[in-house]
Amino acid sequence: MAQELVVGYNPLPAAERVAHYQGLVRSRLIWLGIGVVLLLLLWFWMRDQLDAAQTIWMFVIGLAFSGIWLVLAIVLYFSAKRGLDRINATQGYAIRVDPQGIEVAGKTVSWPDVAGIATVRGALGGQPRLTLRDTAGSTASVPITFLDTLPGTLDSAIRAYSRGSQWIDTSKLGN
């Protein structure tokens, strides 16, 4: 068996999310533009039958749906971009496992001091994180999607190097 397992950061999934949301923003802008054109055509065709209040309400209701989806896409894009920037700014490796202990996001804990290693879903259904908790109660975590190794491989290494005393608890992820 190798002396350690080193898990690096993988920017590919984060870059794919950025590209996905960038395309989503673009498509939402196109649909918003189509909505504006359709509303202008409708207003031009029915302008004699509409008063000022009806015109304003027609545009507000007509554009609200596309506007909300556009804002949501922009928020998701910037969130994905921030995640990619965090990966690109990070030096070194995400996780190191060896016979002495485990290191997660720069925090090293020897096997007897590990209280638990778990995958936890982020707030509001966010991406799951691998969290290391020591016996003193402090934690360190890294998003699973940032890792260049599958969780099963990492779990096997943790079980082997800790001689079966530790593993990745996935019960908090839910189904």
DSSP 77: H
Q: What is the pLDDT of residue 173?
A: 66
pLDDT in tens, the chain (175 residues): 568 889 988 888 889 989 999 999 999 999 999 988 988 888 888 878 878 787 788 788 888 888 999 999 999 999 889 888 888 777 778 899 999 999 998 899 999 999 999 988 866 556 788 899 999 999 998 888 888 888 888 999 999 999 989 999 887 766 5
User: Rounded to two decimals, what is the model's pTM?
Assistant: 0.66
The neighbouring-strand residues paired with 118 are 131, 169
The residues, ordered by sequence, that sit 6+ positions from 118 with a Cβ below 8 Å of its Cβ are 130, 131, 133, 168, 169, 170, 171, 172
Contact 7/94 with Cβ under 8 angstroms?
Answer: yes
What tokens appear for 153 in the block?
Answer: 């491989």
* Strand runs labelled E in 42-128: 95-98, 101-104, 107-110, 114-120
- Burial readout 46-73 (b: 16 or more C-beta within 10 A, e: otherwise): eeeeeeeeeeeeebeebeeebeebbeeb
Q: What is the pLDDT of residue 123?
A: 64
- Say how far apart CA 44 and CA 52 lie, in whole Å: 13
* Edge-first strand listing for the sheet containing 95-98: 5-7, 95-98, 101-104, 107-110
